[in-house]
Amino acid sequence: MSGSNFIRGIVVIGGLIGLLDAASVAEQAAGFVAVLLGAGNAAGGYAVTGRMLAMFQTSAPEPKRREAHHSATRKPEKV
Residue ranges in contact with other proteins by CB under 8 A: 1-24, 26-28, 30-57, 60-63, 66, 69
Q: Which is nearer to other proteins, 8 or 78 (CB)?
A: 8
CB atoms within 10 A of CB 31: 19
Q: Which is nearer to other proteins, 54 or 79 (CB)?
A: 54
Smallest gap from Cβ 18 to other proteins, in A, equals 5
Proportion of the chain in helix, strand, coil states, percent, rounded to 5: 85, 0, 15
35 in Cβ contact with 12 (< 8 Å): yes
Q: Which is nearer to other proteins, 73 or 78 (CB)?
A: 73
